[in-house]
């Protein structure tokens, strides 16, 4: 006898419990091993009121290297460089200044939908710390500035900066 039918209600309850958290900008995964290369997703859960999202701008924290964003159909991708040079990935590549920001602009994400924007990156070797990625979400009729870093012992900010916990 299969256990799969019994798992469906558990999975549904888990998803429903996670829905309130989707109101904020979130990173996926929420934690990752320090000193590894992963794709980090920035999940846009809603627009600004009923207004669609038209731009997403992500600041890359210090210590992150080799940031490479994934293009998204219908959006213009801009990479801002200005940090310390990142070592070349291959012998025939030149070292480039580090990526400090990634901008997706010109697209439209209606308020009733969600989407995830990905950046592949090398995480710093700082286990037991949290990397915060300030994000500005622009809409046709407003803006969300996900730039307030949560502080221990304080109420969560209205627009908290998404964080990625580094594990050993």
Q: What is the rounded average pLDDT for all residues in the chain?
A: 87
- Whether the predicted pLDDT of 90 surpasses 60: no
Q: Which range of residues forms the domain containing residue 57?
A: 21-167
- Give dist(CA 66, CA 85) in Å, integer: 10
CATH no. for residue 92? 2.60.40.2230
In a domain, 13, yes or no: no
Q: Quickly state the pLDDT bin for 21 (edges 50, 70, 90).
A: very low
- Whether the predicted pLDDT of 19 surpasses 50: no
Q: What is the pLDDT of residues 59-71, one digit of tens each?
A: 999 999 999 999 9
- Give dist(CA 134, CA 42) in Å, integer: 11
What total of structural domains would you count in the chain? 1
- What's the pLDDT at 86? 66
- What's the pLDDT at 92? 59
In a domain, 9, yes or no: no
If you search the block for the tokens 């030149």, which residue do you land on? 94
Q: What is the pLDDT of residues 31-86, one digit of tens each?
A: 999 999 999 999 999 999 999 999 999 999 999 999 999 999 999 999 999 966 76
In a domain, 115, yes or no: yes
In a domain, 62, yes or no: yes
């Amino acid at each position: 006898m299969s256990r799969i039918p019994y798992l469906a209600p558990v999975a549904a309850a888990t998803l429903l419990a996670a829905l309130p958290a989707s109101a904020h900008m979130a990173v996926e995964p929420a934690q990752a091993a320090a000193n590894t290369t992963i794709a980090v997703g920035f999940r846009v859960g809603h627009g600004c009121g009923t207004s669609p999202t038209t731009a997403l701008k992500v600041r890359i924290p210090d210590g992150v290297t080799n940031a490479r964003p994934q293009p998204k159909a219908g959006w213009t991708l801009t990479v801002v460089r200005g940090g310390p040079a990142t070592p070349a990935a291959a012998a025939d590549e030149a070292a480039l200044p580090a990526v400090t920001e990634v901008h997706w602009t010109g697209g439209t994400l209606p308020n009733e939908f969600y989407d995830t924007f990905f950046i592949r990156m090398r995480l710093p070797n700082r286990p037991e710390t949290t990397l915060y990625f300030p994000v500005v979400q622009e809409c046709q009729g407003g803006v969300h500035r996900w730039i307030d870093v949560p502080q221990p012992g304080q109420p969560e900010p209205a627009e908290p900066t998404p964080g990625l916990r580094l594990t050993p």
